[in-house]
Structure 1
Amino acid sequence: MHGIANTAQAQAWNGHEGSHWAAHQDRWDAVNAGFDQPLLTAAAIRSGERVLDIGCGAGTTTLLAARAATPGDALGLDLSAPMLERARTRATEEGITDVSFEHGDAQVHPLTSGAFDVAISRFGIMFFDDPVAAFANIATALRPGGRIAFLSAAEPEGNQWLQALTALGDILPMQGFGAPGAPGMFSLADAGTATALLAEAGFQDVRAEHVQAYGIWGRDAREAAHFMLDSGPGRHLLGRVGPDVQDRARTRLVEWLRPYRTADALRLRSTAWLLTAVRPD
């Protein structure tokens, strides 16, 4: 792996968070799969193109892009070694050969200039500590006229999983949790901020479209609550209180989630900005 500038996120995604996402890749795909088609539609990947997937994680969108680009190819870039290991295993299992994965920081990773036709990202762009540097590096990797299609989490209140956690506010210390603008998942929750950063990095025709999708969090409220509290945000909150308070929080969360169970699964709505732009000719 080449040099890392974003050290805090590298530490997080090579620790429990990255291992959890790798181990539960199918569960996280069920949460986020509703955004795949809007992303791919906006990217408009054509046969023979080269695709760069930023923050590719366990490789779901990279593999989808590789299929769409055949006989082109796709490169997935991510900070997380555990997730990339899972991505490579999946590519082998699925027999997809026109795909590769690199371990690196999009802010500084040496990408071949003008090598890609399109760059995509499904929720991999919100964790940069220097987003302008990252976006500028991505722009350099695109050919003139190359395009981007990125998803970033939108307003926190539009995400029902976050509503579920904040409903525990009288039990768990929620101060500052999910605040837009702070480093992390809601850093680009304001569309104006996101589009301004892309423009500053040199992109043109920058647009933001508000999209939403329902994801499957589990078969029922108990399974969904366990999964939610075992993920990074949930573990962070539970780690700040004792066992008795943790038990109260689990019980409360299960009750909050029960109304969202349908006949076959528990689904929650998430919202996002679909960001598109082009590199100038």
Structure 2
Amino acid sequence: MDLSAAMLREARRRAVAEDLDNVVFEQADAQVHRMPQEVFDVAISWTGTMFFADVVAAFSNIAAALRSGGRFVQLVWQEPARNEWFCDFGEAMAAGRTTPVPPPGAPGPFALADPDRIRAALTGSGFTDVVILAQGAPMCFGADADSAHRFVSGLLGWMLEDLDDQGRAGALRALRASLTRHEQPDGFFYFFYASATWLVKAVREA
């Protein structure tokens, strides 16, 4: 389940490539979508739950779809300062500007960076046995400079919208310089940045 049609197209493509015929893809908002009640054993989210407008409402909806004792597992980003990729890319694309910082807890990549907020949201949504584990791993952004540059500049293209041509060109040069600094030939992948996440596990109350 995802809001993004593009993400679902890619998921379907991968399922076909792997000969998976027991998967259903649905474009919907898990915060409000009416899912089958008390039928699923596990719900999994990979860096997605931070974007819910109302985390408690979303987690409650997910809990209602799980059987008693069902598990909810999610991966969310830790604070920005611990994610080198975000700091480096943000600095490059800001082109010397001071970019606004969203208020704590506002929907966005780091809305669930605070473990206390995660616990409160889960326990307030019908979950128990909450476990939050710190994870750290290098994050790869491409197998060559051009593909990595295209991916990141597309992902953060919104940061260039109010720049003039000279400013945009400078930001894109700074982005390429950042990628060059992080070039680490290692077989297939080349551009690694430090990242930090929380692996969150919880169980639906009986």
TM-score normalized with structure 2 length: 0.90
> What secondary structure sits across from 1:215 in the alignment?
strand
CA distance in 2, matches of 1:92, 1:113: 28
Superposition map of 1:143-222 within 5 A: 143-168=67-92, 171-177=95-101, 180-221=104-145
Distance 2:100 2:31 in 1: 26
- Equivalent pairs, count: 203
- Paired residue for 2:168, among 246, 250, 253? 246
Q: 1:230 to 1:133 in 2, by over 3 A?
A: same
1:259 aligned partner, one-letter code: R
Q: Deviation of residue 127 (structure 1)?
A: 0.7
Which runs of at least 4 in structure 1 moved beyond 4 Å after TM superposition?
A: 177-180, 220-223
* DSSP-derived class of the 2:202 partner: strand
Alpha-carbon distance in structure 1 between the residues aligned to 2:74 and 2:109: 14
Task: Give the structure 2 partner of residue 277 of structure 1.
Answer: 202
Q: TM-score, normalised by structure 1?
A: 0.67
* 2:23 aligned to which of 99, 109, 125: 99
Amino acid at match of 1:245: G
In 2 relative to 1, CA 174–99 (structure 1 residues): closer, same or farther, beyond 3 Å? farther
What does residue 53 of structure 1 align with? none
Q: In the TM superposition, what are the counterparts of 1:110-149 in structure 2 within 5 Å? A: 110-149=34-73
Distance 1:268 1:203, change over 3 A: same
Change (3 A) 1:93 1:165: closer
**Deviation string, structure 1 residues 106-139 (Cα, Å, up to 9, x no partner):** 1111111111111111111111001111100100
Shift in Å, 1:263: 1.8
Unpaired runs of 5+ residues, structure 1, are 1-76
Matched residue SS, 1:78: coil
Percentage identity across paired residues of the two chains: 39
Which deviations, in whole Å up to 9, do the C-alpha atoms of 1:67-113 show, x marking residues without a partner? Answer: xxxxxxxxxx1112222233223222321111111121111111111
- In structure 2, the gaps of 5 or more residues are none
Alpha-carbon contact 2:89-2:178 (below 8 Å) kept:
no
Between the aligned partners of 1:183 and 1:84, the Cα distance in structure 2 is: 21
Q: Encode CA deviations 1:128-162: one digit per residue, 9 max, x unaligned.
A: 00111110010011110111110111110111111
After superposition, the Cα gap between the structure-2 partners of 1:170 and 1:85, relative to the gap in structure 1 and judged at 3 Å, is closer
Change (3 A) 1:162 1:180: farther
In the aligned structure 1, how far is the partner of 2:12 from the partner of 2:28?
15
Higher relative contact order (CA 8 A, sep 6+): 2
Change (3 A) 1:118 1:170: closer
Tell me the CA shift for residue 176 of structure 1: 2.2
Contact 1:214 1:267 in 2 (8 A): yes
